[in-house]
Structure 1
């Protein structure tokens, strides 16, 4: 698969914390008449790096094991949303590790700031008495806000739009989300903005600098009541 190439742009003035003062990301200089965004319909993030991720399973030269502060659970969980709007996004292949010490290949997605509408999170536990589902839903009238989000994904579906994207950038040089980057020589991609409509994803873990839900509802129910 061939990806468009982007020119480098001069460095931008940085504000507090080493971030661009305007909130934009110092991405490549666009052509004279730049497109407003790159739109893929029914596009999964992990599909863009399927070949790289396949190699990563066999060789750590194309992916890294991220230094995380906890071992992931042995079962993934679901997250769905009507819409996610993010500013600053990066993505690359890596490994995460569960409590048994087993490495799991994942697509690392970092988002600098995000607003999420219609959030649902579900985790199903299978017990001797049957399945039990923990669900968390946000208030439909007020979006969830998050900062410095990092997701370990193994599946994502939705309608995605990347604004001012760089695909095929060396993963070690990704700078759209401070501190979130991959290994030198590995495939990476980043964008100034990321919009996902009708998002459905499965993830092993999510970390965040902040994650605010107003009017949220949590429930534990017998049976499988997954978000999708």
Structure 2
């Protein structure tokens, strides 16, 4: 199942996001101060939740930015969303869940919930771009560099990063000398997060399941 290049957020596209966020506050602060815009499309007016039992990724890079998106589900007013943007050349995820809640007129709140990678075969992703606002997880990084300039990220396993040559960052609005970090390998467990957007070159979703649930809250959402 291949996602399209950064061009829009669609309910039919499975949105997967896992962001190891070392010094994310500093990264976001730098991105905001520089006026960097992370996404090349307007994100929807809804955040979504994601959980995972474990994510193992190679070729990791991260920097701060801003997603421009719609303020809510009605109208054309737009707002800026500060995000921590992480990228992986390759990622393997177990027990993945994504949920989003919509208040449907005359019906009430409906939760769309997607799960995958929970039947013995991991979810696989390539060239993963993740725009996240909140994260709780346990994280382990191998050969990590914190404070590297965005243009100088160049992971041995992941290829060139935010300079725009490889799988890390396509966004030309990110300043090349901005704050960034990189690691050869990242392992996250017990992940809970909220995100505004994600794209990937390829997703392989083993055991994909989608369900609609009446209401919201931890009993029907991912957490």
Measured against the shorter chain, the TM-score band is 0.7 to 0.9
Larger deviation, residues 98-107 vs 78-87 = 98-107
> Which of the numbers 191, 207, 213 marks the counterpart of 2:205?
213
- SS at structure 1 position matched to 2:89: strand
**Number of aligned positions between the proteins:** 181
Measured after TM superposition, the shift of residue 122 of structure 1 is 0.4
- For structure 2, the 5+ residue unaligned runs are 1-18, 71-76, 156-160
Q: TM-score scaled to structure 2, two decimals?
A: 0.75
Matched, 1:66 2:38: yes
Matched, 1:50 2:29: no
Q: How does 1:121-140 map to 2 (within 5 A)?
A: 121-128=98-105, 129-140=107-118
- For structure 1, the 5+ residue unaligned runs are 1-43
After superposition, the CA RMSD in angstroms is 1.9
Distance 1:67 1:120, change over 3 A: closer
Q: Which has the higher contact order (CA 8 A, sep 6+)?
A: 2
Contact preservation (8 Å) 2:30, 2:64: no
Measured after TM superposition, the shift of residue 104 of structure 1 is 1.4
Measured after TM superposition, the shift of residue 156 of structure 1 is 1.1
Measured after TM superposition, the shift of residue 113 of structure 1 is 0.2
- Residues 108-166 of structure 1, C-alpha deviations (whole Å, 9 max, x = no match): 10011000000001011123432100011114211000000001010111110001100
Contact preservation (8 Å) 2:130, 2:197: yes
Runs of 4+ in 1 over 3 A off after TM superposition: 44-47, 54-57
Measured after TM superposition, the shift of residue 67 of structure 1 is 5.0
- SS at structure 1 position matched to 2:154: coil
Q: TM-score scaled to structure 1, two decimals?
A: 0.73
Q: How does 1:1-228 map to 2 (within 5 A)?
A: 45-46=20-21, 48-57=23-32, 59=33, 61=34, 64-66=36-38, 68=40, 70-99=41-70, 100-128=77-105, 129-140=107-118, 141-176=120-155, 177=161, 178-181=166-169, 182-224=174-216, 225-228=220-223
Distance 1:175 1:209, change over 3 A: same
